[in-house]
Chain A
Amino acid sequence: MQNTPHALKKGIGFGLKHVAYIAIAFIFVLPLWWAIVSSLRPNTEVFADIFPFTAKALIPSPFSLEAYQGVFDRGFGIIIANTMFVAIVTMIGGLIVNGMAGFAFAVFDFKGKNAILTLIIISFMLPFEAIALPLYTVTLQLGWLDNVAALIVPSVANGLAVFLFYQFFKEVPKDYLEAAKLDGANWFDVLVRIYVPLSIPTCISAGLLLFVFQWEAFLWPLLAMPSQQFKVIQVGMAAFQQQYQTIWNQLFAVSVITALIPIALLLPLQRYYVQGLASAGIKG
C-alpha cells in the first residue's frame, strides 16, 4: 500500500481541522447554549447552578417551557412580526436608495464629490444618542410620532451602506461600462444588467447591515413610538428587566428566538457566498 502514509497524514490533518473548528465554534456557541438552557428553566432556577458554577448549569433541569409560553402570552409574536416588517422594508428601501447613490459616486465624476463623500462618512460617525434629541424634534415637526414611518424612513438612507456600495462599484472594471455604452445600452440597463448581478455578495452584506440596524434598534423606537402601540423586539425585551426584578428565563427565550431568525434568513443566501472559493484562503 504505497499511499498509506499519505492517507494517514490526510486523516490526521482532517481530524486536526475538525478539532480547530470545534474549538472556535465552542466559543461562539457557549453563551447562547447557556441562554437556551436558562430559557428552559423556571425563572427562580435560572441561577441555581451558575453561582457558583457547576456542570449542571449546562443542562435544562428542572425543565420548563413556561418562559416560551409567557413570551407568546405577552404578544411577542406580534412584536417579532413588527420588527421583521420594519427591518425588511428598511432593507429593501435601503438597498435601492444606497445602491443608487453608491453607483453614482463610483461611476460619475462631478463637482464637490469628495466633499459630499466626506459628509456621508461623517453621517455615521456620531453616536445615535447624540443626535436622538434633534432627530426627535424633526420627527415631531413632521408629525410622524407614533407612526411606523418614523421607525423606517430615517433609517433607509445609510451612510455606511452608501460607502459599502461605493467601495464595491468603483472596483468594477470600466471596460464593462464602455462596452455596454458602445452597444447603445442606457444607464438603467448598465446598472441593472451589469452592476446588480455582479454585486450580489455586496447586496447581502449591505442588506445585513440595514437589517441588523433595525433588529437591534432600541432607543429610537422607544422615543418615536411614545404610545407603545407598536413595539419592536429590543423595546419588548427591556420590559423583562423591571425595577425590582428581572424575568430572566423569558429574557433568554426571546434572545434565543431573535438570534435564530437572522441566521435562518442568511443561510439560504450562502450559495452566493461560497462559490468557487475553496482556493481563496489558507487551504494548501
Chain B
Amino acid sequence: MKMWNTALAISMVAAMTAVPALAQDKTLNMIVIEGGDTTAMQAVVDAYTAAHPGTKINLQPYPFAQFFQVAELRLRSKDTGIDLVYVDAPLVASYASRGFLAPVDASIDTSSLVPAAIDAGKYDATQFALPINNSAQVLFYNKKLFADAGITAPDGLTAGQNATQADVDTLGSTKRWTWEQVADTAQKLTVKDGGRTTQYGFTVEQFGELYQLQPLGESLGTDVIAPDGVTAKGYLDSEAWTKAGTYWANLYNEWAVSPKSLGYGEAASLFGNGQLAMFAGGTWNLPILAQTGVDFGVAPFPYFEGGKVLTPTGSWYVGVSAASTNQAEAFDFAKFLTTSDEGTRVWFKALNQLPVSKPLLDEISTAADFDAFPNNVFRLGVYDSLNTAKARPVTAAYGQLQDAFRTAFIDMANGVAVKDALASAVQKFESAAARVAQ
C-alpha cells in the first residue's frame, strides 16, 4: 500500500510541475511518432540545442496508430502548442490545402537534397514541408528454406559478402526478379499440412497498402489516379490494374502462398520464425531480423515481366504549423534537421533510414563502412531512389485514395472479384474526393 501511495505522490507532483519554461527562452513543441523516431529526433534536438542554448525543444510523442488522428485534431483546432509537425509524405497536400502548414521559408537552401524528395513536399508549387529521410523496399528471402527445398534463391546481398556500389547497381539493373518468378517460387515453398499452411511462400509486409502496392499496376503502365488528383476512372480500373489486382488476389486464393490480414510487424515475426520464405518489406526490418538469427538475404524489389521497374519511395517530412507563434525559430530547427551536415548525420546514425541528403548518399556509395552486409543494403536503396523510385500521387484527397485502395485490395484477397473491387474503389474515391475538391 505504501508503495502505491509513494508512486501516486510522485506521479502527481510530476504532472503538476510540468509548467512552461521561462519566458525569455523560446520553447518549441514538436509532435512526432513514439518509438525509434522519437529517440532519433531527440538526438537531433540535443545536437541543435547544444549550439542554440536559448531554444528549448519539447518532443510530444504519439503512438503510430493514433498519430494521424491526434495530429489532425490538434492542427484543426489551431493549437498554438504545436510548432513543428512530423508529416507523412502524401499528407503534405492534405495539410497544406487546409491551411495547417506555413509555407517554407524561401531562404532555406535545399540544394543538397534529392530533387524528387523536395518536389514531394510541394503543394500548388509552394514548398510546405522538408524531407527528413527516404524509404526503400526490398525482397527478403530465407536462405535455409530455399536451400532445403533445393530451389535457387534470388540474387541478392547476404552475410559474408561485400558489395561495391557498382556491384549493387548491376544487381538492381540486371538481376532483379519478376513478380512471376516470385509467384512460381512461392508456390514451391508453401507447405501445407492437413489443410493448414505451416510455411508461407511470400507476403508483402503491409497488407493492402498503397505505399507498397502502387508499383504493381504502375509497373504495367497505368498510374493509380489521373494527374488532376480526383479522377480514378480509367486508371485504377484499367487493364493494367486489373492484371495487378488479379496477381494480388491469386497470392491469397488461387496460389494461396500468402497469409491474410497480417498486422504491422507480423511479416517480420513469421519470417523470423522460419515460417515465411520471402517477403517484400522496408529496410527498417534489418535490425529486427538481425536479432532473430535467421539466415537471410536481401534482393531488389520485384517488377512485372515486360513492365517497367518501379519501387516505392517517400517517407517523413517536417513542416511548421501555420498557428505557431515561433515560426522563424521552428524553421531554423527544420533547416538544421533536414539540410545541415550534422543534423542529417545524427538522424541517419540514430534511425538508419535511407537519407535524402546527397552528401550522405555519396558517402553510402563510396565509404568502406558500407561494403559489408547489412550496411550494403543501403546501396540498393541508393540505386532505387536514383533510378526506379516512383512517388505517391499528390492529391488533397490522399486519405480517401489510400482508404479506397486498401479496401479494394483487402477485399480481393478475401475473394471479392477483382473487377468489382476496383470499380467500387473508383466510385468511393471519386465521390469522397469530389467533396474535397468542390
Contact = CB atoms under 8 A, between A and B. Distances in A.
Interface in A21-41: none
Tier of interface size on chain B: 35 or more
B284 A244 contact: yes
Contacts of B10: 78
Contacts, number: 132
Interface in A235-281: 235, 238-239, 241-246, 248
B73 A132 contact: yes
A137 interface: yes
A52 B66 contact: no
B265 A244 contact: yes
B275 interface: yes
Most buried by B among A46, A230, A245: A245
Contact of B259 (A51, A148, A219): A51
Given A47-B266, A136-B74, A146-B18, A239 B34 contact: yes
B259 A140 contact: no
Contacts of A123: none
Contacts of B66: 218-219, 222, 238
Interface in B28-48: 29, 31, 33-37
Most buried by B among A46, A226, A239: A226
Given A81-B8, A238-B65, A243-B35, A44 B269 contact: yes
A282 B361 CA distance: 75
Contact of B15 (A219, A226, A229, A243): A229
A217 to B, nearest CB: 13
B16 A148 contact: yes
A248 B14 CA distance: 29
Contacts of A114: none
Nearest to B79: A140
Contact of B60 (A78, A137, A219, A227): A227
Contact of A52 (B81, B198, B264, B292): B198
A136 B4 contact: no
B59 to A, nearest CB: 9
A244 B282 contact: yes
A223 B11 contact: no
Given A47-B273, A226-B29, A245-B265, 15 more contacts: A47-B269, A47-B270, A51-B259, A81-B11, A133-B73, A222-B62, A222-B63, A227-B18, A239-B63, A241-B63, A241-B65, A241-B264, A242-B36, A243-B35, A244-B285
24 contacts: A47-B266, A47-B273, A51-B275, A52-B196, A78-B7, A85-B8, A147-B15, A147-B18, A148-B16, A218-B66, A219-B69, A222-B63, A229-B14, A241-B63, A241-B265, A242-B34, A242-B64, A243-B35, A243-B37, A244-B264, A244-B265, A246-B265, A246-B269, A248-B269
